[in-house]
Structure 1
Amino acid sequence: MPTTRSVALAALALSAALHLPPAFAAPPDPARLFTEHCAACHGGDRLGAIGPALLPENLGRLKPAEAESIIRHGRPATQMPGFAADVLDDAAVTALAAYVFTPLPAMPVWGEAEITASRILHRDPATLPAAPQHGADPLNLFTVVEAGDHHVSIVDGDRFTVLDRFPSRFALHGGAKYSPDGRFVYLASRDGWIAKYDLHSLALVAEVRAGVNTRNVAVSADGRVLMVGNTLPHTLVALDAGDLNPLAVIPVADAAGNGSRVSAVYAMPPRGAFVAALKDIREVWEIPWGEPGRFPVRRMETADHLDDFFFDPPYRHLMGASRDGRRGIVVDMDAGAMVAELDLPGMPHLGSGISFSHEGRTVMATPHLREAVISVIDTGTWTTLRRIAMPGPGFFLRGHETTPYAWGDAYMGREKDVIPVIDTRTLEIVRTLRPAPGKLTAHVEFTRDGRHALVSVMEDEGALVVYDAATFAEVARLPMRKPIGKYNVWNKISYSSGTSH
């Protein structure tokens, strides 16, 4: 139910509209309004139907005032209509907006039966072609997530042309994951939908809803299993990567039964296992994928809640960011124990960190969400070698094995339109690019050969800007609708040290 304050405000608004004293104005009934105007698309339980789930966890950074505007005016490029004043007056709109931001009274049930029932087969796998049908290098394609109008584009990384563009589920996660051979791309939405798309035929193959609110998906190195991390309900879900049928639903809870949201799940190829970061339990979970149908959990206690991970290149050590944003910790995966503490104040975004060689040693570098620096860590001693001053706090960092440069951003700062380029030999900024002055610009990804860098202008009328990675000259510009992420097939499946995993 909405808060007492929101109901009172709605009642006062209605009273003013009818010129009645507040005592005589009946407050709107948001549950009834939702049933009458919203349930057909969003589900009577608010868990979603043809429209997305309307729960606080699924609304992300949407503010109540923005929700009211969407109710009144609709949402462009979707089936969400606007409700005119003669259908929903101001009081009703305010009450409805408050209602969708109200948590459910109990944890939603979404188990194996619900997952299986949600599965949609768009193409019979037996009819898929044996070879690519588009003439482009299948390992130099980019999957681009366009949040502006909820679409995905497949871009040829040699000719910089769009091969296909198709609608996605609401609030698709920026990350895309590929099958080990690079043929299929898997996409996860905030609403729990997992989609499988064939990059040979440029066609959607299947979809399944693995949760009510999902963080991300990981793919096993043998290509057999997808692991989905959920925040609602508190589960990890193993799916058959071939047909997206559920293999296991793993409750996420501590020994006392206290549930936890999943922050993220990753694949660790050398270990033959998935690893999960948990928001509400001081543990790291490792889950092997080797035995068909069995997913035993190895629990490792940690000194803090960990929100994000980075792995050293051999995947022997896991680096995690602490919840308070003041430090990082290192876990030896063989020993299952913490072995070092990292000096990483300012909320490091380890999931966007990269590795490279510097003066004969392997280092990792990470942006910070609250401090305008890039921290460079020696992975042999776990000491901080350098803090590189940046124009503002950043979100992404990217590199490539063939280039001496790492490309960052100032996503969280005032200068959101800059792309600082760092020379990994000197650990100094050597160039600052402004692909679109005054517009949010971030997230670099390289082509397969590292010769070109693609940058996102993350505005509704945005673009992918292609640069020569050696000369920093602009090569091409593709119009896009808020391209929040793009992922090169080869760099992902080869686990390039310059990109996120």
Structure 2
Amino acid sequence: MRLIPFALLMLCGAVQAAPEAVSLEQAGVLYEQHCQSCHGANRLGGAGPALLPESLSRIKPDEARAVIHNGRPASQMAAFGDRLNPAQIDALVSYLYQPAATPPTWSDADIRASHRILTDVDALPSTPQHSADPLNLFVVVEAGNHHVRVLDGDHFEELANFQSHFALHGGPKFSPDGRFVYFASRDGWISVYDLHNLTMIAEVRAGLNTRNLAVSNDGRWVLVGNYLPGNLVLLDARDLSLVKHIPTLGADGTQSRVSAVYTAPPRDSFVVALKDVKEAWEISYAGEPDFQPRRIEAADFLDDFSFTPDYRYLLATSRKALGGQVIDLDTGKAVTDIPLPGMPHLGSGIYWKRGGNWVFATPNVSKGLISVLDLQSWKLIKEIPTEGPGFFMRSHLNSPYAWTDVFFGPNNDAVHLIDKQTLEVAHTLRPMPGKNAAHVEFTNDGRYALLSVWDTDGALIVYDAKTLKEIKRIPMNKPSGKYNVGNKIEYAEGTSH
């Protein structure tokens, strides 16, 4: 947002003295005066993030009002409470949550025009230029101030700290050798960072509202799933240059948003869930691929999914469904329904061996329970009650516990540790009473567990994973997630993918 002329400030002051209702048309004028220079003529973003309803879906209107009034600390977002009266701010917020008069578009030409090479990767050393174990690095997304920190997972010391694009969304993904990490922001920016040399390599805006990305296990391709425009965008993993976009049209021609995209390493393919048509897609990248989707008919609209350990079966659910479904990726057929009440968050589900058999456990974003499934019979083994709905689960091959938060509700300062064999809550931790505790990740050897306290005055807390003794507390501003390189590239048991 830019400063406005003195005459306009005087005019705003006069309006503030006698606030009246402000129309959406007038709010549009306010946007042009105060916001357009940073956020773009069509609200598509610029120096500031996009301000479209799709981009603001996770920000409540009251929070948007507070940001306009008070600004954002440590950012270019100034406070406008001294220039806009409450009625003007209310109207501006309503305007931002309205769909654009002309539906925004983002073409191949727009993608290519946004592409920036920041560092010549060929000029960089191919080996780590630091002394830390490259497989035991942590990439920490610090959402409160839109930064990323890189930590040494042996000593928990910071190696790098850099600004990210606004609102990184979904877990970052890694190249198969662990050298590069790929980020996606909610408003479509894709970035690649070199963990060996601690430098940013390239970035591109692949869409206007992005769901997530996946990296092929051969390290050649990045596939981006978008809500707006509803499509897939294929990038060259080396420099993020555009390869092609893939329209996400159902078999009947219906345009769809993308719910999620992941890579299935043993299958040499990407698997895509579509939000607005009852289809899942498998896109092979083996050999010299043509990236034509193989359509798999689903029993419902898919919102979220996970894989079995062998990547043969897809466990999928929809926020509209009463339960979930199992899809055989080999045959392309739905196998059975699975009894999952509420809104299970399958993307954060994890699996482990119990009595010699694989089980799968998923948190639930609307009910205080963990559902545990037998992956042979597809039967519900147990529903484990928790102190509230949760969002993330994590474990490790060397840990006896599955750690789960209760992210939603009044008890969100609690984290449960579930015994993976008895399926009972063995411990409940409250790292910082009254502050939201969420998202655990383990070191590569499973010796330590790192937990986020999701608060402006939050922290990253390091626990001994066996004794549960606190080892270190690193102050941070809403550390929304942290990701261990080795666990991610090994698709380790207990880590969601």
Does 2:382 align with 1:420?
no
Instruction: Give 2:372's aligned amino acid.
Output: V
Determine if contact 1:28/1:91 at 8 Å carries over to the other structure: no
- Aligned to 1:408, the other structure's residue is in SS state strand
Q: CA deviation at 1:212?
A: 0.2
Determine if contact 1:145/1:174 at 8 Å carries over to the other structure: no
Determine if contact 1:283/1:305 at 8 Å carries over to the other structure: yes
CA distance in structure 2 between the aligned counterparts of 1:19 and 1:293, rounded to whole angstroms:
61
Instruction: Give 1:200's aligned amino acid.
Output: H
Please point out which of 167, 185, 190 is paired with 1:189.
185
Please point out which of 298, 303, 310 is paired with 1:307.
303
Deviation per CA, 1:357-403: give whole Å up to 9, x if none: 11121111111111111111111110011111212111111111112
Does 2:426 align with 1:430?
yes
Distance 1:323 1:26, change over 3 A: closer
- Aligned to 1:47, the other structure's residue is in SS state coil
Report 1:202-281 matches (<5 A): 202-281=198-277
Q: CA deviation at 1:255?
A: 2.9
- Aligned to 1:155, the other structure's residue is in SS state strand
TM-score by length of 2: 0.94
Q: Which residue of 2 aligns with 1:58?
A: 55
Deviation larger for 447-456 or 289-298? 289-298
Deviation per CA, 1:92-139: give whole Å up to 9, x if none: 322221111111234322121111110111111112212111100000
- Aligned to 2:393, the other structure's residue is in SS state coil
Q: Which residue of 2 aligns with 1:4?
A: none
CA distance in structure 1 between the aligned counterparts of 2:366 and 2:239, rounded to whole angstroms:
41
- Aligned to 2:78, the other structure's residue is in SS state coil
Please point out which of 67, 72, 76 is paired with 2:69.
72
Determine if contact 2:304/2:347 at 8 Å carries over to the other structure: yes
- Aligned to 2:486, the other structure's residue is in SS state helix
Q: Which residue of 1 aligns with 2:11?
A: none
Q: Which residue of 1 aligns with 2:143?
A: 147
Distance 1:179 1:66, change over 3 A: same
Deviation per CA, 1:217-267: give whole Å up to 9, x if none: 100000000000000001100000001001110111223332111111100
Q: Which residue of 2 aligns with 1:37?
A: 34
Determine if contact 1:234/1:262 at 8 Å carries over to the other structure: yes
Distance 1:422 1:27, change over 3 A: closer
Distance 1:116 1:385, change over 3 A: same
CA distance in structure 2 between the aligned counterparts of 1:26 and 1:469, rounded to whole angstroms:
56
Determine if contact 1:443/1:456 at 8 Å carries over to the other structure: yes
Determine if contact 1:417/1:439 at 8 Å carries over to the other structure: yes
Report 1:12-411 matches (<5 A): 17-18=17-18, 29-85=26-82, 87-292=83-288, 294-411=290-407
- Unaligned stretches of 5+ residues in structure 1: 1-13
CA distance in structure 2 between the aligned counterparts of 1:171 and 1:27, rounded to whole angstroms:
27
Deviation per CA, 1:405-453: give whole Å up to 9, x if none: 1111111232111111111111111111111111100111000000110
- Unaligned stretches of 5+ residues in structure 2: 1-13
Distance 1:111 1:373, change over 3 A: same
Does 2:462 align with 1:466?
yes
Distance 1:355 1:91, change over 3 A: same
- Aligned to 1:139, the other structure's residue is in SS state helix
Instruction: Give 1:157's aligned amino acid.
Output: G
Runs of 4+ in 1 over 4 A off after TM superposition: 14-17, 25-28
Instruction: Give 2:34's aligned amino acid.
Output: H
Determine if contact 2:402/2:420 at 8 Å carries over to the other structure: yes
Q: Which residue of 2 aligns with 1:491?
A: 487
Instruction: Give 2:60's aligned amino acid.
Output: K
CA distance in structure 1 between the aligned counterparts of 2:476 and 2:19, rounded to whole angstroms:
48
Determine if contact 1:174/1:485 at 8 Å carries over to the other structure: no
Distance 1:92 1:384, change over 3 A: same
Deviation larger for 250-259 or 265-274? 250-259
CA distance in structure 2 between the aligned counterparts of 1:477 and 1:16, rounded to whole angstroms:
46
Determine if contact 2:300/2:321 at 8 Å carries over to the other structure: no
CA distance in structure 1 between the aligned counterparts of 2:24 and 2:142, rounded to whole angstroms:
40
Aligned length: 485
Distance 1:72 1:391, change over 3 A: closer
Determine if contact 1:325/1:348 at 8 Å carries over to the other structure: no
Q: CA deviation at 1:293?
A: 6.2
Determine if contact 1:400/1:499 at 8 Å carries over to the other structure: yes
CA distance in structure 1 between the aligned counterparts of 2:288 and 2:48, rounded to whole angstroms:
35
Determine if contact 1:206/1:244 at 8 Å carries over to the other structure: yes
Deviation larger for 223-232 or 30-39? 30-39
Determine if contact 2:16/2:85 at 8 Å carries over to the other structure: no
Deviation larger for 369-378 or 184-193? 369-378
CA distance in structure 1 between the aligned counterparts of 2:495 and 2:486, rounded to whole angstroms:
11
Instruction: Give 1:82's aligned amino acid.
Output: A
Q: CA deviation at 1:30?
A: 2.2
Distance 1:489 1:36, change over 3 A: same
Determine if contact 1:107/1:232 at 8 Å carries over to the other structure: no
Determine if contact 1:247/1:293 at 8 Å carries over to the other structure: no
